Structure 1
Amino acid sequence: MQYGKKMTAALCGALVAGIAAGCSGGAETTNNEKTAIKVMHYDERGFYQQYGMLFTALYPDIEVQVVATSSVQYEEGKDMQKAMEEFIAEQKPDVLMLGASEYSRMAGEGKLYNLDTFIQKDKFNLEGIAPGILEYIKQQSDGILYGLAPEFYSQALFYNKDLFAKHGITPPTDRMNWEEVLQLAARFPTDGNGDDRIYGLKAGYQADIYQFGMMIGSSLGLNYINPTTMQLSINSDSWKKAFETADKALKSGSLYAEDRNGGFSGSYEDYLLQEPFIGEKVAMSIEGSYMMEQIKEAQTRLKDKGVKNWDIVTVPINPQNPNESTAMSIGQIFAIDANTANADAAWKFVSYINGEDFARVTSKLRNGGFSARTKYIEDEEGRNMAAFYSLMPNSNDMYKDFDKLPREFYMKFDGLTQQEFQGVKDGSVTIAEALDNLQAKGQKLLTEESEKAATAEPSPAGASASGESITIITEGAVSEAPAE
């Protein structure tokens, strides 16, 4: 992690010099007095590494002040949404960095600047941005564009073309559903042991019925808690089917299960080969952009070993919403405050970080994500890179408003799920019985914890009774605040 940050900073420094020389057509260097704008971001250092170094090199007449959301502290019994609202009202940033729900709420309250006038005046090119990203943002704000997201995160289904050819199995295609993908996986032989064994699919690190079932259910747009009514629905027929699908796939022996207890000793080359897709132990694997970097490094270091003939298709989709994916999400949405006195300068920043030049010079950094401008998502071998962006983020987020749930509920509910699904694994209860038990016990737990939270006395600002640091997670901010 630290190595990655240092490399990002070094590359950004080199890019600043390059872009200042090669893209100076976008800069405005005049003798006018500087315009100052406040930009909302996690922290100042991160802002300059990711955006600020390049922007200030091109726009020296615009002075940027970073409004760090890391200063927002959690208070027991206080709504984090309200805390962020108070933060924004107090700091008055011109450019807001928002999560999807914050963006939707503020757009609905008329607090964001309509970008259409700027887009038309500057002939700002929207066509190069992945259509699914623009559509998703517009969905959050009644069809009007109040913000833009310069990057997104996505996964795809990687597949080994040689293994499919060797076993005479038709390769996967875009927009297959879970049943189809799991049927493909089950066609690979399940005999053999250790290094001789080939698995049909690695689906992330979901190695147990509950986690894999949740993965399938969320991709189908299912929800199991309503944070508004504080009601569970984990034992619905749809959830039962999702867990039964997961159970059947795991029992088939076609799914690769990560050994979480195993350590590693050996060379870096051995470490690369230990990754099951690179080591050709699995025919298909659901992975993000980092897998491409690992494959590239393996091909450089391992020469004749490791996967070489591979491609990607979209992750399994929900047949009811075949154009959406829970494996795709946008980065933060950058919007302009409706009441800003510096709208023109704010737009220069928002349009620059979402524009062609920025995407071109930063596309190689990637940092786990992709530029929203698909022109810069490419592969020298002509692979199906559209698999990463041809879908759009799921409009029905299973975890939306989960910050409203009592904090203690998560840990205790996780214990209940382990207990109930251990019974499924042992054969002492059926999936239906486990979910019915989980529904009853979970609802009782949620009700009790909700009542405790409702009667809890707010702690002094930022304080925690345990004296431990508190991790703050909201769509607009992630930080760790030391308890007083």
Structure 2
Amino acid sequence: MRTRRTKDRHTILRGVSLGLSLTLATSLLAACSEGADDDGGKRQVLRVGVLYASAADESRQRQAFTDDYELTHPNVDIELAGAIDLDDRRSEALAGNRDRPALYEALKQLLSGSDPVDVVELEDAAYLRRLTQDNLLAPLDPLMQASGFGLDDFLPNAVDGLRGAGDPSVYALTSTFAGTALYYNKRLFADAGVAPPTDGMLWPDVLRLAKRVASGEGKSRKFGFSFDRWGADGFSDALAYSAPLQLKLFDKKAWKMTVDTPQWSRAWSDIAELYAEKIVPSRSDMEGGNGMENGDLFLNGRLAMVIGGHDYVNELSAARTYAADPAIKSLDWDVVSLPSFAEAPGIGGSMALTNLMAIGAKAQNKEIAWDFVQYNNSERMAKLKSRSSGKLPVRRSLVQPQGGMSYNLGAFYALKPVPPSEEREELYWNTPNLSPALELGRPLFQDVIDGKKTAKEALREWQTTGDALMQEIKRNPAAYDNGDYYWGGWGG
């Protein structure tokens, strides 16, 4: 959830060993195989599109999701087509800039060009929503109904994420998701004589717990809460904290900011107070050192609560086995669902759906394309992928704690994810140069932490300076670049 997420797009399709013994899983799959045999062994080509491709990465991509299918379907040859060719220096520069609209145009070309791909693998749901709006994907509901592929075992929140923008149809499938929850240190709460957090709490209650459990000074300070175990950025924390409330930053029609409001003042005051009172650790607190084995304050027993993804479970388990510090080895933790707001009950979680597979509206081999998609998202494939990736399966029957451990696994998918913000979508795709106006708020937020301004005063100043800059951006849009900015919400 940091402003500058370090996510290497050159390796977004991480290889996983899927085994060589998958059997045909559905009647449609068998029918496709029989049809190929009846056709005198005629070979068929399935074109699969990915956002990034390179000669060095192809073997990993094939191992991840095509090798097994080709082995069990000897008459099908799979061609990988990349929207961005990382072996081309011009394309590589585009990938490095992370120009999302330009990347999307390249992805569109894969699906609508003279030789459209049959299947496209999408790195996140933002592309899925946009492609459905542009009618570039085929709805899967008729194909699922014809083949008996049901979603009854899928987690409801996951199914919602597979639908199109404002459309009840399902347009993609995935086997796994990355969920987020609130980790807490049982011992720190017991030592403070404070009851630990529980599922379904509201944000004001969790922040009060954080203040009660924080104690100590200097290098022995025990912090109550952190939005992220590796970063400390109050401005971005305020954006993420307020995301479930769907507060607006900009009025695009009037080209003005919309931050001088009581709602924004509340969000800024809540988060700035946590930093000012050292309830949350500062960046210097999280840089490591201080005799710690590493800079992870939660792992080192100095942080009572932290938001983290399910992949953190593996790290905590490994630390218990391999850490030299006895305190780390004995860390007693559990998780609860993320807090929500009374104004948006039950909303506030994160269910990051990645590696989604969809069929192009112009697919030339829709039957084989569907066979490939359902094969890769079968129950068995979901089980294999969840074991090797650290992510959770989307099927309820397969959801279970890692390695026989006992923890509150349901916390990772208890809440509905923060819905996509219309403003965020607009700024990502159609007005990708407003980041400079947003960045004006960062030093002002620090002024609130330092006590130089009240939240209301800082937001009023941001409103004024932001309005002026937005008008300048409107007059000269090419002079301003959005870069890679995160607009708020929880990461997986």
TM tier, smaller: 0.7 to 0.9
Q: Is structure 2 residue 322 aligned with structure 1 residue 301?
A: yes
Q: Counterpart in 1 of 2:460?
A: 436
Alpha carbons 2:348, 2:415 under 8 Å: kept: yes
- Partner SS for 1:382: coil
Q: 1:68 aligns with which of 59, 62, 82?
A: 82
Q: Counterpart in 1 of 2:477?
A: 453
Cα distance in 1 for residues equivalent to 2:76 and 2:349: 38
Q: Counterpart in 2 of 1:381?
A: 405
Cα distance in 2 for residues equivalent to 1:258 and 1:455: 32
TM-aligned CA distance change 1:271 to 1:180, over 3 Å = same
Amino acid at match of 2:406: G
Q: Is structure 2 residue 447 aligned with structure 1 residue 423?
A: yes
Pairing 1:29-178 to 2, within 5 Å after superposition: 31=37, 32-44=41-53, 45=58, 47-71=61-85, 80=102, 81-90=104-113, 91-98=115-122, 99-108=124-133, 110-138=135-163, 140-178=165-203
Amino acid at match of 1:288: G
TM-aligned CA distance change 1:6 to 1:201, over 3 Å = closer
- Residue 286 of structure 1 deviates from its aligned partner by 0.7
Q: Counterpart in 2 of 1:278?
A: 299
Q: Counterpart in 2 of 1:184?
A: 209
Cα distance in 2 for residues equivalent to 1:101 and 1:324: 19
Pairing 1:363-402 to 2, within 5 Å after superposition: 363-366=386-389, 369-379=391-401, 380-397=404-421, 399-402=424-427
Q: 2:341 aligns with which of 311, 314, 318?
A: 318
- Residue 348 of structure 1 deviates from its aligned partner by 1.3
TM-aligned CA distance change 1:324 to 1:61, over 3 Å = farther
TM-aligned CA distance change 1:25 to 1:109, over 3 Å = closer
Q: Counterpart in 2 of 1:219?
A: 244
- Residue 213 of structure 1 deviates from its aligned partner by 1.6
- Residue 412 of structure 1 deviates from its aligned partner by 6.3
TM-aligned CA distance change 1:145 to 1:211, over 3 Å = closer
TM-aligned CA distance change 1:89 to 1:250, over 3 Å = same
Alpha carbons 2:435, 2:483 under 8 Å: kept: no
- Residue 257 of structure 1 deviates from its aligned partner by 2.7
- Residue 182 of structure 1 deviates from its aligned partner by 0.5
Amino acid at match of 2:315: Q
432-441 or 248-257, larger mean C-alpha shift:
248-257
TM-aligned CA distance change 1:69 to 1:370, over 3 Å = farther
89-98 or 74-83, larger mean C-alpha shift:
74-83
Task: Provide the aligned C-alpha RMSD in A.
Answer: 3.6
- Deviation track 1:36-60 (CA, whole Å, cap 9, x = no partner) reads 1211212342532431233323333
218-227 or 340-349, larger mean C-alpha shift:
218-227
Pairing 1:197-346 to 2, within 5 Å after superposition: 197-204=221-228, 205=230, 207-226=232-251, 230-259=255-284, 262=287, 264=289, 271-272=293-294, 274-302=295-323, 304-306=326-328, 307-325=330-348, 327-346=350-369
- Partner SS for 1:69: strand
- Residue 447 of structure 1 deviates from its aligned partner by 2.4
Instruction: Give the TM-score, by structure 1 length.
Output: 0.81
Cα distance in 2 for residues equivalent to 1:275 and 1:286: 13
- Residue 134 of structure 1 deviates from its aligned partner by 0.6
TM-aligned CA distance change 1:189 to 1:444, over 3 Å = closer
Amino acid at match of 2:400: E
Cα distance in 2 for residues equivalent to 1:186 and 1:78: 40
Alpha carbons 1:16, 1:53 under 8 Å: kept: no
Alpha carbons 2:382, 2:395 under 8 Å: kept: yes
Alpha carbons 1:132, 1:393 under 8 Å: kept: yes
TM-aligned CA distance change 1:387 to 1:418, over 3 Å = same
Cα distance in 1 for residues equivalent to 2:152 and 2:456: 48
TM-aligned CA distance change 1:345 to 1:228, over 3 Å = farther
Q: Counterpart in 1 of 2:88?
A: none
- Residue 179 of structure 1 deviates from its aligned partner by 0.9
Identical amino acids, percent of aligned pairs: 22
TM-aligned CA distance change 1:323 to 1:58, over 3 Å = farther
- Residue 352 of structure 1 deviates from its aligned partner by 1.9
Alpha carbons 1:56, 1:63 under 8 Å: kept: yes
Q: Counterpart in 2 of 1:403?
A: 428
> Which ranges of structure 2 fall in alignment gaps of 5 or more residues?
1-6, 86-90, 487-492
Amino acid at match of 2:52: D
Alpha carbons 1:115, 1:145 under 8 Å: kept: yes
- Residue 156 of structure 1 deviates from its aligned partner by 0.7
Alpha carbons 1:95, 1:346 under 8 Å: kept: yes
- Partner SS for 1:400: helix
Amino acid at match of 1:38: R
- Residue 232 of structure 1 deviates from its aligned partner by 2.0
Q: Counterpart in 1 of 2:3?
A: none
Q: Counterpart in 1 of 2:374?
A: 351
Cα distance in 1 for residues equivalent to 2:83 and 2:255: 29
Cα distance in 1 for residues equivalent to 2:479 and 2:321: 60
Cα distance in 2 for residues equivalent to 1:226 and 1:50: 43
- Partner SS for 1:282: coil
Cα distance in 2 for residues equivalent to 1:164 and 1:244: 25
Cα distance in 2 for residues equivalent to 1:443 and 1:147: 40
